[in-house]
A and B are shown apart, each in its own frame.
Chain A
Amino acid sequence: MRYIDEDGFPVTIYQPNEVQGGVIWGLRQAYHDIVVSRHVIARLFWRDFVAQFRQKILGYFWALLSPVLGILSFLFLFFVGVLQPGQGEIPYMVYVLVGSTIWGCLPGAMGAVSGGLQAQADLIMRTRIPKLALAVSSLAGLIYGILISMITMAIVFVVMGVTPTWWFLAYPLLILPMVLLGTAVGLVLSVLGSIARDLTPMASQALALVMYITPVIYLHSTIQNPFVKNLIDWNPISYLVDVPRSLICLGRADNVDIFLSVSLGTMVLVIIGLRIFYLLEDLVAERL
């Protein structure tokens, strides 16, 4: 607990299980922690970003080169006919690229947040930076990743002769629910995963399975099995991938109402994730 006393001195009190606030308290505390740590988050991102390009001939060009090379290999497979596209309004190449890019935000956010505390264990033990700030500091890298993926998508759109709709500019907003979902799960894993180290790998494996019941690289219409079809329909993440993709590529989408409901659900999950994080964060340091 922290407050400013009548003489203007900051007072810090540590006691067992001091985080007894509710979900709203957790949200306010998260806002406070992130605001007071904004410089730290920015510096950590800048440190890791800058350091990875030092002593390299191409320097910062690597930031763009890696994803572009990935896309080129994908284009190669497509043009030599290895990839068999299904039938749909959106060219399969674009369909898969946009879908997998949107999907990537989920494991990306989950991995960044869940691994944040363990990656910054040294700083947890030696500094007084709020643990939430360290957990979410890697999310700053995700923002840069989103920018890069927009550039790579734009390149593919040009190569494929597809004109994206204006929704393309709203891409960061459209993938926000995926980032929030990944953050919510990541927050829980960042504390529980520090106590039991196999929880995060287990969650990653589970997420890989969830991808199979999400229309990321296949068309929903190509699925024949009614059971699998039902699974895909009942999978809320399907809408978080399909609706943004349709909006970007076609300018229209079905099930926008479900998308909005699921998006609202991801916000609630973040609040719950924060609550769990604050309830358990003090158990983490001694187990790092």
Chain B
Amino acid sequence: MSKPSVVVEGVSKKFGLSLKSALKYGLVDSCRRLVGRDSDHALRAGEFWALNDVSFSLEPGDALGIMGVNGSGKTTLLRILNGTYSPDMGRVTMRGRIGALIAAGAGFSPMLSGRENIYISGTLLGMTPREIHNKFDEIVAFAELGDFIDMPVRNYSSGMGVRLGFAIAVIGTPEILLVDEVLAVGDLNFQKKCFERIHKLKSEGTTILLVSHSPGAIWSVCDLGLFVDHGRVLVQGAVEDVVRAYDDQNSRNAKSSEAQFAIAVNGREKRDEAAAKESSDSDESASLTSDYGHTRGGTGDAVCLSVRVLSASTGEPVESIQFGESLHLEYRYRVNKRLEFPIFRSSIDAVHYKFVVSLDSYEQGLAWDSLDPGEYVMHVHVANPALRPGMYRLNTSIASRKVGVHTFYWLSAASFVVTHPSDRFLYSNDKAIFFMPCSITLQETR
């Protein structure tokens, strides 16, 4: 059995939240070390764990995709593996020559030619002049620069620059390759070539650690995954599981940040409504704005008091449902004045598109002649919503068949997340909304 090429044991790293605390603790730690004492490993006021007790092990030929939202700690982890940062706790053991593809073109001098920069950048990446000389033609061919190799780099297009940087970095043959978000360079053909090169290294036994926000890039290179959130490893294992966890977390974050944004933006609006409600002694019509352009509005004849997404099994309110689960919605209404021919309507917004679904009581075959004043609860059950994993917003309104405007409207009345299923890998397009099961056949025609 081969020895592991990367072993990470309980690695933690902390940073100061502000420049002031970084300065203060930097000086304190410096003084402690200069008098022979260790740094303080406990978390101090004004510090946070960028990485917290991270452990994993990789064999030669393994490819690990490290995923996480911005600020999760994945780049910090890569920098520790690259030796840029020193861990505050734990230990990292790397067995083999390490190649880092952290930024294509690091150290390029724009005034010098591509040829000269190959020697500089190659040296900075740890190659000897002889190695660079031997691989020079291969680098130029890989970068597809041809005669442009003697042109100053400042006259290169951005694509030419990153192609050259990438070519220098991947032509070496490291035993461990650290890659940070630099696979998406150049045109499609060049990107394809980059992936092929990475796969070739992998098949030759190079251990690859890839940090990316792109599930597609991770999935196409890696068979193992690590999902990091707030410095902690939340999911570790098959790359599909990690991509699912990452995508679900993104959706939850989108839901939570949208809620915060809505509170911030609509705070005044809601305070105004509350003030109006107080002054009007619970008169709904006085507290609502009677024009469009707000989050809530209407005539006040009827209002929707709440919208909740309920669990199909327990009936309790939930924040998310799993892909394939049925969608249960509960609406509570107060009718202040008799409604003639009421219609209850909801629409669903996806992250990138608005009004992708409309749920309309009349379209669903329900028609009431009138609704007397009082309070009502309405349940909507969608057996198979077919919504792909992601975050969705629910807008709701009350209309009348005989009146061309809304009696009541409420944008972003509720939101929910559809999480990934465990039995199917939905990775292909993060902007797609619906999953439509279909039968696919493929036949050779000649």
Residues of A bordering B, CB below 8 Å: 5, 7, 9-18, 39-40, 43-44, 46-48, 50-51, 54-55, 122-129, 191-192, 195-196, 276, 279-280, 282-283, 285-287
Give the Cβ gap from A36 to chain B, nearest Cβ, in Å.
9
Contact B87 A15 (CB under 8 A): yes
Contact A196 B112 (CB under 8 A): no
Contact B112 A14 (CB under 8 A): no
CA distance A191 to B31 in the complex (A): 12
Stretch from B102-110, B231-239, B381-389, B401-409 forming part of the interface with A: B102-110
Which residues from A are CB-within-8-Å of B268? none
List 19 interface pairs A-B (beta carbons < 8 Å), by A numbering. A5-B95, A9-B175, A11-B95, A13-B93, A16-B88, A39-B128, A43-B124, A44-B120, A47-B107, A54-B111, A122-B107, A126-B84, A128-B100, A192-B30, A196-B26, A276-B34, A282-B85, A285-B79, A285-B84
CA distance A288 to B3 in the complex (A): 35
Which residues from A are CB-within-8-Å of B112? 47, 50-51, 54
Is residue B15 contacting chain A, with contact meaning CB distance below 8 A? yes
Contact A47 B120 (CB under 8 A): yes
Q: A10-B95, A127-B106 are in contact. List 5 more A-B contacts (CB 8 A).
A: A12-B98, A14-B87, A54-B111, A123-B124, A195-B27
- Contact residue among A12, A16, A18, A287 (Cβ-Cβ distance under 8 Å from B41): A16
Which residues from B are CB-within-8-Å of A276? 34
Which residues from A are CB-within-8-Å of B41? 16
CA distance A142 to B430 in the complex (A): 55
CA distance A40 to B107 in the complex (A): 11
The 3 closest A-B pairs by CB, nearest first: A282-B86, A195-B26, A126-B106
Contact A17 B39 (CB under 8 A): yes
Given contacts A5-B95, A280-B33, A283-B30, contact A16 B39 (CB under 8 A): yes
* Cross-chain pair count, CB within 8 angstroms: 133
CA distance A143 to B211 in the complex (A): 41
Which residues from A are CB-within-8-Å of B80? 14
Contact B97 A10 (CB under 8 A): yes
Contact A51 B111 (CB under 8 A): yes
Q: Which of B153-177 contact A (CB under 8 A)?
A: 175
Give the Cβ gap from B9 to chain A, nearest Cβ, in Å.
9
Which residues from A are CB-within-8-Å of B89? 16
CA distance A287 to B30 in the complex (A): 13
Given contacts A14-B83, A195-B30, A276-B34, contact A128 B39 (CB under 8 A): no
Give the Cβ gap from A258 to chain B, nearest Cβ, in Å.
29
Is residue B92 contacting chain A, with contact meaning CB distance below 8 A? yes
Which residues from A are CB-within-8-Å of B123? 39-40, 43
CA distance A195 to B34 in the complex (A): 14
- Contact residue among B22, B33, B82, B124 (Cβ-Cβ distance under 8 Å from A40): B124
Contact A123 B106 (CB under 8 A): yes
Contact A9 B27 (CB under 8 A): no
Contact A128 B30 (CB under 8 A): no
Give the Cβ gap from B371 to chain A, nearest Cβ, in Å.
63
Give the Cβ gap from A58 to chain B, nearest Cβ, in Å.
16
CA distance A13 to B79 in the complex (A): 14
- Contact residue among B34, B79, B102, B120 (Cβ-Cβ distance under 8 Å from A43): B120
Given contacts A128-B98, A128-B100, contact A195 B87 (CB under 8 A): no
CA distance A13 to B94 in the complex (A): 6
Is residue B126 contacting chain A, with contact meaning CB distance below 8 A? yes
Which residues from A are CB-within-8-Å of B33? 17, 279-280
CA distance A276 to B111 in the complex (A): 36
Given contacts A40-B123, A128-B100, contact A196 B27 (CB under 8 A): yes
For residue A5, which residue of chain B has the nearest CB? B95
CA distance A7 to B85 in the complex (A): 28
For residue A275, which residue of chain B has the nearest CB? B34
Contact A125 B88 (CB under 8 A): no
For residue A282, which residue of chain B has the nearest CB? B86
Give the Cβ gap from B123 to chain A, nearest Cβ, in Å.
4
Q: Which of B240-290 contact A (CB under 8 A)?
A: none
CA distance A124 to B85 in the complex (A): 10
CA distance A46 to B126 in the complex (A): 17
Is residue B315 contacting chain A, with contact meaning CB distance below 8 A? no
Which residues from B are CB-within-8-Å of A43? 119-120, 123-124
For residue B112, which residue of chain A has the nearest CB? A51
Give the Cβ gap from A45 to chain B, nearest Cβ, in Å.
11
Which residues from A are CB-within-8-Å of B90? 15-16
Is residue B125 contacting chain A, with contact meaning CB distance below 8 A? yes
For residue B7, which residue of chain A has the nearest CB? A13
Given contacts A126-B102, A285-B79, contact A14 B86 (CB under 8 A): yes
Interface membership of chain B positions 20-42, coded 1 if the CB is closer than 8 angstroms to chain A and 0 otherwise: 00110011011001100011010
CA distance A280 to B90 in the complex (A): 18
CA distance A127 to B97 in the complex (A): 13
Which residues from A are CB-within-8-Å of B83? 12, 14, 128
Contact B106 A122 (CB under 8 A): yes
Given contacts A125-B84, A279-B34, contact A15 B111 (CB under 8 A): no
- Contact residue among B85, B96, B126, B175 (Cβ-Cβ distance under 8 Å from A128): B126
Is residue B46 contacting chain A, with contact meaning CB distance below 8 A? no
Contact A9 B26 (CB under 8 A): no
Given contacts A196-B26, A283-B26, contact A13 B86 (CB under 8 A): no
Contact A196 B84 (CB under 8 A): no
Contact B97 A285 (CB under 8 A): no
Which residues from A are CB-within-8-Å of B92? 12-15
Contact B91 A15 (CB under 8 A): yes
CA distance A12 to B111 in the complex (A): 35
- Of the candidates B33, B41, B80, the one having the most CB atoms from chain A within 10 angstroms of its own CB is B33
Give the Cβ gap from B23 to chain A, nearest Cβ, in Å.
6
For residue A276, which residue of chain B has the nearest CB? B34
